[in-house]
Structure 1
């Protein structure tokens, strides 16, 4: 019985730590109308979030050094076949991001967030972070951490 109580206490401590970290990561994420930005993609294409109004869009923050972001790449690729996606590379250097995109054949729009200005607007503390923006430009759902393909597709479908 003593072992059971000790195991239960350890389990509860892990759960509290897990939810504490999740709360910390998400506490400053913005809600409501998505902050607009006008930035160049790595292909020197002008990307303006306001121009996506009328369509749901996934605004996804990531970094090249992030193992969870790398694990999520195939999920983003598949989601990109069905919905518009703007990925924002933050907390990294531009040349590193360009090399990473080239080496990994990423086929989605990548915006380099110079000085992490866009990440600050969105309240990002950790990557990956995703903002599901509906066709009216409103953030309907946010997620920090790994998201499956089904998770991306379901949220995009449900929250538009």
Structure 2
């Protein structure tokens, strides 16, 4: 009996390792089309119509998401956690007006900074076509990491930690 349990646990571990490798290869493939230019945005207008100036000489995570995206619903709590410690701006694509997005954020207990990209112009500038997409810029504003699809809190935390050095 113990041998059977050990065998099944090994198979389950192998399955998760293969899925993780596949997901990372897929993310790498999908991120090949992203705009890799240096970040040229200094100020954004958040949903509450306040102006937010991106900090200079600090890394920043930009998260592209949508209220209609099921993977975004799963990843947004990870972004929320990261936003408590690091610089994070989120771009909500074609997710309705500000009140609809605000209602979504409140229902999910999310408080990260949101830019409503209702016409898709910001998302287009970054060449984003799959959601969620996360782009991490280093202190000089250069792309350091990009992920297309779900990313764990630990993975995001490690990448932001790395970007600070």
Q: Same fold (TM over 0.5)?
A: yes
CA distance, structure 2, for counterparts of residue 146 and residue 109 of structure 1:
19
The answer on 1:26 being equivalent to 2:4 is no
Assess, with a 3 A threshold, how the Cα gap between structure 1 residues 33 and 43 changes in structure 2: closer, same or farther: same
Please identify runs of 4+ aligned residues in structure 1 that moved more than 3 A. 18-22
For structure 2, the residue ranges without an aligned partner over 5 or more in a row are 1-20
Q: Are residues 37 and 122 of structure 1, via their aligned partners in 2, closer, same or farther at CA, if it must alter by over 3 Å?
A: farther
CA contact (8 A) 1:35 1:122 kept: no
**Are positions 1:132 and 2:159 aligned together?**
no
Deviation at 1:22, TM superposition (A): 6.2
**TM-superposition CA deviations, 1:30-54 (whole Å, max 9, x none):** 1130241643211221134xx3222
1:102 deviates by 2.4
Q: In the alignment, does 2:56 pair up with 1:53?
A: yes
The aligned counterpart of 1:92 is 95
SS in 2 for 1:60: strand
TM-score calculated relative to the size of structure 1 = 0.78
**Does the 8 Å CA contact 1:68/1:146 hold for their aligned counterparts?**
yes
* Structure 1 unaligned spans of 5+: 1-14
Q: Output the CA distance in 2 between the equivalents of 1:56 and 1:21.
A: 21
How many residues are treated as equivalent by the alignment?
142
Alignment partner, residue 76 of structure 2: 73
The alpha carbon displacement at 1:20 in A equals 6.8
